Amino acid sequence: MTNDLMKYDQMVEEALRGVVRKALQHALDEGLPGDHHFYLTFRTTAPGVSIPEYLQDQYPEEMTIVLQHQFWDLTIEDEQFTITLSFKNRPAELRIPYDAMTAFVDPSVKFGLQFNADFASSINVPTIRPEGELVTISEDVASEPIEKTANEDGQKDSAEVVSLDQFRKK
């Protein structure tokens, strides 16, 4: 097998994280249009992550935040973003490097990305059911399509989390 000296998997991962950066930039510049909202899952122990201690205690490994109606002070940088959210009526500033993210989902359009988490043995990734409810699935089934169900019109609906693992060398 040929050794990938170009590291295409890393290039693709970086490009997909750029999609998240652009989506956040759009939310900052123009707000979230229509029903768009984001679920961002990240490793709370990853280098560069900064969250209040009480959130670190509550989410020792991974946390999912929702950007929809109430968020403040969103700052987009090349390597990270900073945002203030409210947790039990307490404002909290979070600094999240894009490299710490494990998943990005916009359930309004059934769009999701799953990112590589090399050091995690088992990681939960939010994904979308056709009914719009978030569920978690383990990493070993994350690359499989979600079971299709019929919607109100009788047509099949599905949502998938894009997994880069299927393109990686084993």
pLDDT for the residue 166: 52
pLDDT for the residue 163: 53
Distance, CA of 10 to CA of 15 (rounded, Å): 9
pLDDT for the residue 121: 35
| Per-residue tokens: 15 | 């490009």
pTM check: above 0.85: no
Q: Indicate the domain borders of the chain.
A: 8-121
| Per-residue tokens: 73 | 């002070």
> What is the CATH architecture of 8-121?
Roll (2.30)
- Mind listing the pLDDT tens digit for each residue in 27-64? 999 999 999 999 999 999 999 999 999 999 999 999 99
Q: Which residues pair with 114 in a beta bridge?
A: 103
